[in-house]
Chains A and B, each alone.
Chain A
Amino acid sequence: MSLDVEALRAEFAILAREAYGKPLVYLDNAASAQKPRAVIETMTRAMETSYANVHRGLHLLSNEATGAFEEARAKVARFLNAASPDEIVFTSGGTDAMNLVAYALGAGEIGAGDEIILSLMEHHSNIVPWHLLRERKGAVLKWLDVSDDGEIDLAAYEALFTERTKLVAITHMSNVLGAPTPAKALTDIAHAHGAKILFDGCQAAVHGRVDVRAIGCDFYAITGHKLYGPTGIGALYGRKDVLEALPPFRGGGEMIDAVTTEAVTYNDPPHRFEAGTPPILEAIGLGAAVDWIEATGLDAIVAHENALRDHALEELRALNFVTLYGQAPDKAPIICFNVNGAHPHDVSTILDRSGVAIRAGHHCAQPLMKRLGATATARASFAAYNTHDEIGALIEALRKTHMMLG
Chain B
Amino acid sequence: MPRFDDIVADFKFLDDWDDRYKYLIDLGRALPPYPEEFRDEAHKVRGCASQVWFRAREEAENGRKTLAFDGDSDAHIVKGLIAVLFALYAGKTPEEILAVDARAALAPLDLEGHLTPQRSNGLVSMIKRINEIAAEKR
Number of cross-chain contacts by CB at 8 Å: 45
Contact of A404 among B25, B50, B75, B120 (CB under 8 A): B25
Whether B18 contacts A405 by the Cβ 8 Å rule is no
Contact of B74 among A343, A350, A400, A405 (CB under 8 A): A343
A375 at interface (Cβ–Cβ under 8 A)?
Answer: yes
Chain B's closest residue to A360 (CB) is: B49
- CB of A372, distance to nearest CB on chain B (Å): 16
Whether B21 contacts A353 by the Cβ 8 Å rule is yes
B-contacting residues, A195-241, CB 8 Å: none
Whether B49 contacts A20 by the Cβ 8 Å rule is no
Whether A361 contacts B25 by the Cβ 8 Å rule is no
- CB of A376, distance to nearest CB on chain B (Å): 7
A142 at interface (Cβ–Cβ under 8 A)?
Answer: no
> What interface size band does chain A fall in?
10 to 19
Whether A345 contacts B50 by the Cβ 8 Å rule is yes
Q: What residues of B have a CB within 8 angstroms of the CB of A400 in the complex?
A: 18
Whether B18 contacts A346 by the Cβ 8 Å rule is no
Interface string of B93-132 (1 = CB under 8 A from A): 0000000000000000000000000001100000000000
Whether B76 contacts A343 by the Cβ 8 Å rule is yes
Q: What residues of A have a CB within 8 angstroms of the CB of B50 in the complex?
A: 343, 345, 376
A342 at interface (Cβ–Cβ under 8 A)?
Answer: yes
B17 at interface (Cβ–Cβ under 8 A)?
Answer: yes
Whether B78 contacts A343 by the Cβ 8 Å rule is yes
Bound Cα distance from A293 to B126, whole angstroms = 44
Whether B75 contacts A353 by the Cβ 8 Å rule is no
Q: What residues of A have a CB within 8 angstroms of the CB of B25 in the complex?
A: 346, 404-405
- CB of A147, distance to nearest CB on chain B (Å): 26
Whether A342 contacts B120 by the Cβ 8 Å rule is no
A-contacting residues of B (Cβ < 8 Å)? 17-18, 21-22, 25, 49-51, 73-78, 120-121
